């Protein structure tokens, strides 16, 4: 009798699994998505080495890259907060609010390009932006180099990280080292990755329904690949423009980069990896609840009204994109020297 009951239970489970995850869903998923690998990819023209990685980790946490000596990459891309900062838009030099929500650095190496408008082709190019933005770190390449050159540990480490270079300590090499570190900020082994790797039980039935909806309703059109996003530019509000608090009229997105009419209010689709960990949402950071974001996207991008159940199922699926967060040892930074430039708290133009 117990044996029969167990048998019945197995059969029921099997039936349910077949209903939700039958041959179709795993194969369909593999056609659209790839799991996050546990090792960083090779970077074109920027090979990794232990020295470069250490240097990059130090620079990522180095507040002296900013004029104030208060703001580092880590400030807005906190490795303990899924590579973001929980702000609508980031706060920089002089407590100024920046124009857009900080995209996560986790898995960012798999994005086609960087920034919401894709204006940086890779993480190295990206890293040079905030350092110089008056609303962020408000610094200049010259001042950054003066700072780094005043610190003997950095001088040594740049030499070791870029042994081929006549002049290893440059602004570009700073950015390359940061890129090598950021490429290690990966979050493998999310439930969805286990599902992609063949473990059909890694998702619950609700999550599988959400995945089916995500594919069938068309979300996958802009959110696919390893990062489930980050691979193309799409007008926000292609079917129905969201309200102007969510889509501020003065931020025309990729149009600012290309000056092409078709790019007005186009943004790089964000990666949905770890999306449950990184509210608030959208480039404006105006929406705090993931469920609301899903509904807004349905209306704005697909012209559909998701039922309460559907939005919840898709949200449940999105939560399976939370992977293992990177474990990072806080670097010990070189001590200030007598000739190290001192913090400058004033000014907002560099």
323: Cβ–Cβ under 8 A, 6 or more apart, which residues? 36, 186, 187, 188, 189, 190, 193, 273, 274
With beta carbons less than 8 A apart as the criterion, state whether 118 and 112 touch: yes
Question: What is the footprint of a second copy within residues 311-340 (CB under 8 A)?
Answer: 325, 327-333, 335-336, 338
| Binding-residue pattern over the window 11 to 50 for a second copy, x denoting contact by CB under 8 A | ----------------------------------------
By C-beta, is 29 or 75 nearer to a second copy? 75
| Binding-residue pattern over the window 52 to 81 for a second copy, x denoting contact by CB under 8 A | ---------x-xx---xxx----x--xxxx
Half-sphere exposure for 76 (CA within 13 Å, toward CB):
25
**CA–CA distance from 335 to each of 149, 269, 339 (Å)?**
13, 41, 11
Q: How many residues of this chain interact with a second copy, rule: CB under 8 A?
A: 39
By C-beta, is 274 or 313 nearer to a second copy? 274
**CA–CA distance from 171 to each of 82, 160, 184 (Å)?**
27, 16, 21
By C-beta, is 64 or 194 nearer to a second copy? 64
Catalytic residue among 51, 62, 88, 136: 136
Question: What is the footprint of a second copy within residues 78-107 (CB under 8 A)?
Answer: 78-82, 85-88, 91, 94-95, 97
By C-beta, is 61 or 233 nearer to a second copy? 61
Residue 136 a catalytic site member: yes
- Does residue 256 touch a second copy according to CB under 8 A? no
Q: What is the DSSP string of 8-28?
A: HHHHHHHHHHHHHHSTHHHHH
- Residue 341 and residue 350: Cα distance in Å, rounded? 15
How many of the other CB atoms lie within 10 Å of CB of 20? 19
Select from 54, 145, 276, 299 the one that contacts a second copy (CB under 8 A). 276
- CA dihedral for 83, 85, 89, 94, sign (positive or negative): negative
Residues that bind a second copy (CB under 8 A): 61, 63-64, 68-70, 75, 78-82, 85-88, 91, 94-95, 97, 276-277, 279, 288-289, 325, 327-333, 335-336, 338, 342-343, 345
């Amino acid at each position: 009798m117990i044996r029969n009951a167990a048998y019945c239970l197995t059969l029921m489970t099997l039936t349910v699994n077949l209903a939700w995850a039958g041959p179709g869903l795993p194969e369909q998923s593999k056609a659209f998505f790839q799991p996050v690998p546990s090792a960083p990819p090779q970077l074109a023209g920027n090979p990794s080495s232990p020295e470069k990685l250490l240097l990059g980790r130090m620079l990522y946490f180095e507040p002296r890259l900013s004029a104030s000596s208060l703001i580092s990459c880590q400030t807005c891309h906190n490795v303990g907060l899924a590579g973001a900062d929980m702000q609508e838009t980031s706060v920089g030099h002089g407590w100024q609010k920046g124009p857009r929500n900080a995209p996560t650095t986790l898995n960012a190496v798999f994005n086609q390009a960087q920034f919401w408008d894709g204006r940086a082709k890779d993480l190295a190019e990206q890293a040079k932006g905030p350092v110089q933005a008056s609303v962020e770190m408000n610094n200049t390449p010259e001042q950054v180099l003066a700072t780094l050159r005043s610190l003997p540990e950095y001088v040594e480490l740049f030499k070791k990280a870029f042994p081929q270079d006549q002049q290893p300590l440059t602004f570009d090499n700073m950015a390359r080292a940061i890129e090598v570190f950021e490429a290690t900020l990966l979050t493998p082994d999310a439930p969805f990755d286990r599902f992609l790797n063949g473990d059909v039980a890694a998702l619950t039935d609700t999550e599988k329904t959400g995945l089916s909806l995500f594919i069938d309703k068309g979300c996958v059109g802009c959110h696919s690949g390893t990062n489930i996003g980050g691979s193309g530019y799409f007008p926000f509000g292609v079917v129905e423009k969201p309200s102007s608090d969510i889509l501020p009229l003065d931020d025309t997105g990729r149009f600012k980069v290309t000056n092409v009419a078709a790019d007005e209010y186009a943004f790089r689709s964000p990666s949905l990896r770890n999306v449950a960990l990184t509210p608030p949402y959208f480039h404006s950071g105006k929406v705090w609840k993931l469920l609301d974001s899903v509904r807004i996207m349905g209306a704005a991008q697909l012209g559909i009204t998701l039922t309460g159940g559907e939005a919840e199922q898709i949200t449940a699926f999105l939560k399976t994109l939370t992977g293992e967060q990177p474990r990072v040892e806080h670097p010990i930074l070189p001590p200030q020297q007598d000739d190290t430039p001192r913090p400058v708290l004033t000014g907002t133009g560099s």
